[in-house]
Structures are given as structure tokens and as C-alpha cells.
Structure 1
Amino acid sequence: MSIISIIGSGSMAAAIAGRADRAGHNVEVVSRDPAKARALADKLTDKVTTGTYGAPPAGDIVILAVPYSGLSAVVADFGNTLDGKVIVDITNPVAPDLSGLVTPHGSSGARETASSLPSGAHVVKAFNTVFGHVLARGGCLDAFIAADDAQAKARVSAFVESLGLRPFDVGGLQMAHALEALGLMMIGLAKNGAGTWDLAMNVKIG
């Protein structure tokens, strides 16, 4: 199984770490607050380790499970240690009042992140359309994936499938904008039309 490094210690970090641990992956949890990383790791099996914030992540797949507002600082803090890694961006760059996305016109959070990473890093957009508590409950959910690098996309798709999820390739990284808009729509649906956060987006074929 792969080594998966997760930067972050919130609900999405916990949900992905839990499913990855159960799937047999070696998981490394990294947080700016070491105590939070340790607390998350202690809830899982003894295969889960903690890493040092800003040091080279152990995993070849690195999941950025932090709010979009803090993402650029995290990328800067890790710098060249992310070179050659597959970087999974799970963020939704939404305005605090949920009025829209905060990214520049024609771009996306994933594109902005990619532009600040070392040239050898490959960004994959994934997990941003699944709520953390829904992911943590288990079950087969659909996860949409966008990336330019075919090998990186294939590796993340295999990882997603190993978690018991159904990966759907939606195209190149230019599609990250659409996935982030879908993430915003799901937040709006939860707060308004559905009236519950216990929902997920699934594809029905046929």
C-alpha cells in the first residue's frame, strides 16, 4: 500500500485518514499544531504516524486538507519539499458569505495552488464535493477527479477506489473550476433546498 501524507487535522483530514488507515495504507498526519496531529493519529491504528510541519512529507501522495484561506501559506511553508509529489487539493475557495468563489476569473483554487508549487509537483483536484462527516460514515460515494498529469490522476483514482469510493475522471485541471463551483452549490443546497448536510452527489448511469 502507499504512504499517504495528510496536511491538516480537521474533519476532512480525519475522514480521509480514517478511511485510508482502514484500507491498509500507511498514513502520515502533519499539522502546524503537533498536538492536533498526534490527537488525530491516536484515534487510528498504530500504523498512523505524525510528521514535522514544513519537513519533507513521507508520502508520494500529499493531501492538502486545510481551508483554502490558509492553503497558500502551507504551500509556501513546505516549498521545495513538495517537488515530485502528487498533490491532492480538496479545498473549496468560497467567499465567507457564500456569494461565490474567491479565485480570479477563469482560474480555480487548484490552478492557483499549482502555480505556486515546484514544477515537478502534480496537482489533482479531488474530495471537494464530499462533506467530511459523510465521508467518515463510510459507504460507497462518488468522488470527482480533475488533473492534467495522467499518471498522477491514475494514482489518485486508485487511491480513491481503495477507500471504497467510486472515482470519476472529469477531465484536465481546467475542470477544477467546475468542481469548486459544484462544491459551492452543494453547500448552498445543504443550507437551503435540502435543509441537511447529510447529502452526497452521486452519478446514476443507465
Structure 2
Amino acid sequence: MAAITIFGKGNMGQAIGDVFKQGGNQVSFIDRDDPVENLGAIVVLAVPYAAALAIAQQNQAQLAGKVVIDISNPLNFETWDELVVPADSSAAAQIAAALPQAKVVKAFNTTFAATLQSRQVAGQAPTTVLAASDHADAKQALAAALSDSGVQVIDAGSLKRARELESFGFLQMTLAANDKIGWNGGFAVLK
């Protein structure tokens, strides 16, 4: 059992919290104005990219030594036509640069809240959480915390792979926003 702290109580924050609770973990939530203290070993930034980066920059000391999970897809939400990070980088890489003493993991950005809640993509395939990090132990901690949650976790490689995960998440979100797929659908990984 792990202690999990989630920044953000929106649809994704709640769905991620439920998945971790199903896995037998202790979950707490933190709001924007709450003091940042007594954080769990795993901290989830379930907020938009700009807010996640600000949290990282403002709380380096509190997040040192933690497994920090970035779920953001850094879309330009005004145009829905581009990512707002440099093409050779990612939101996760930017957050990792702000948190040199933390173990940053990119995860949950290729799932929708509905697929986390149902544990299935379009009722047909298990929900898969793809995880990228330069810290194998951080990915293992995430996988262990989700082992009894009803979702599968796949190691997607180093944090460099966050670029592709964010592009993948961007594509999936734009398809859903344009009614090409449902918010309970998306891409699935079949093993």
C-alpha cells in the first residue's frame, strides 16, 4: 500500500484517485490553496500543464525524493491545434527539469477519466496506463500501486518517450473533441 497525494479534484484527479483506492492505496487530495505538506510517496499532478509546471517550480523542496506523476497533455486549449512545449521536449521533461530531486513519471495522459472509471476502453479492452520515466524504481512503484486496480500498466521506456505519449494523448483528445471517438473510447493496448 502506498500513500498517494493528488493535486487536482477534477474528472481525471477523481478517476485516478479511485483507481489507486481500488489498488488498496491511501489517497489524499490537495487543492490549489492548501498547504503543500505531508505529501505521499507518490504525487500526481492531475492539473493542466501550466498549473503542473507552476506546482513543480513552487514546491521543489516538498517534492524532492517523491515519485511525481505528470498526467498533462500540453495542448494549446485556445486552438486545439498544437502542443505548447518545444518539439524536442515534453511537458514531463519540463517538469523534470524543475524537479531535479524528484522522480518524474509520465502516465495517465493517454487515458480518459471514463476509461479509468470503467477499467475498459469502449467496453472491449482493458484500460492501459503507459508509463515513461528515467527512474525504473518509480515506474515499478506506480505499477505496484496499481497492481490490484483493474488497469494494466506498461513500461513505455525512458522519460524521452513522454514526447510520443503526449502526441498520442493530443491525437486522442482531438478525436474525441471532434466526435470521431467517444470519451469512453480511445486507443487500447492488447497483449
State TM-score, norm by structure 1.
Answer: 0.84
* Local SS of the residue matching 1:161: coil
The residue that corresponds to 2:102 in the other structure is 121
Instruction: Give yes or no for contact 1:190–1:196 (8 Å, CA) kept in 2.
Output: yes
* Local SS of the residue matching 2:186: coil
Instruction: Give yes or no for contact 1:54–1:77 (8 Å, CA) kept in 2.
Output: no
Runs of at least 5 residues in structure 2 that lack an aligned partner in the other structure? 121-125
Partners of 2:177 and 2:98 lie apart in 1 by 33
Partners of 1:23 and 1:143 lie apart in 2 by 14
Superposition pairs of residues 7-46 of structure 1, within 5 angstroms: 7-33=7-33
Partners of 2:12 and 2:111 lie apart in 1 by 9
Q: CA deviation at 1:74?
A: 1.3
Partners of 1:154 and 1:25 lie apart in 2 by 15
Partners of 1:183 and 1:166 lie apart in 2 by 17
Q: CA deviation at 1:195?
A: 4.3
Distance change in 2, residues 1:23/1:106 (3 Å): same
* Local SS of the residue matching 1:105: coil
Q: CA deviation at 1:61?
A: 0.6
Distance change in 2, residues 1:148/1:203 (3 Å): same
| Larger RCO (alpha carbons 8 Å, 6+ apart) | 2
Q: CA deviation at 1:176?
A: 0.0
| Percent identity for Structure 1 against Structure 2 | 36
Instruction: Give yes or no for contact 2:132–2:158 (8 Å, CA) kept in 1.
Output: yes
Q: Between Structure 1 and Structure 2, whose CA radius of gyration is higher?
A: 1
Question: Which of 155, 163, 169 is the equivalent residue of 1:177?
Answer: 163
The residue that corresponds to 1:67 in the other structure is 48
Matched, 1:86 2:72: no
Alpha-carbon displacement from aligned partner over 1:21-45 (angstroms, at most 9, x marks no partner): 2332111111115xxxxxxxxxxxx
The residue that corresponds to 2:113 in the other structure is 132
Partners of 1:21 and 1:160 lie apart in 2 by 9
C-alpha RMSD over aligned residues? 1.6
Give the partner amino acid of 2:9.
S
Q: CA deviation at 1:120?
A: 2.2
Runs of at least 5 residues in structure 1 that lack an aligned partner in the other structure? 34-51
Instruction: Give yes or no for contact 1:6–1:29 (8 Å, CA) kept in 2.
Output: yes
Q: CA deviation at 1:9?
A: 1.1
Distance change in 2, residues 1:204/1:18 (3 Å): closer
The residue that corresponds to 1:153 in the other structure is 139
Give the partner amino acid of 1:186.
Q
Give the partner amino acid of 1:200.
G
Give the partner amino acid of 1:123.
V
Partners of 2:181 and 2:111 lie apart in 1 by 16
Distance change in 2, residues 1:56/1:81 (3 Å): farther
Instruction: Give yes or no for contact 1:83–1:120 (8 Å, CA) kept in 2.
Output: yes
The residue that corresponds to 2:123 in the other structure is none
Instruction: Give yes or no for contact 2:19–2:146 (8 Å, CA) kept in 1.
Output: no
State TM-score, norm by structure 2.
Answer: 0.90
Q: CA deviation at 1:193?
A: 6.2
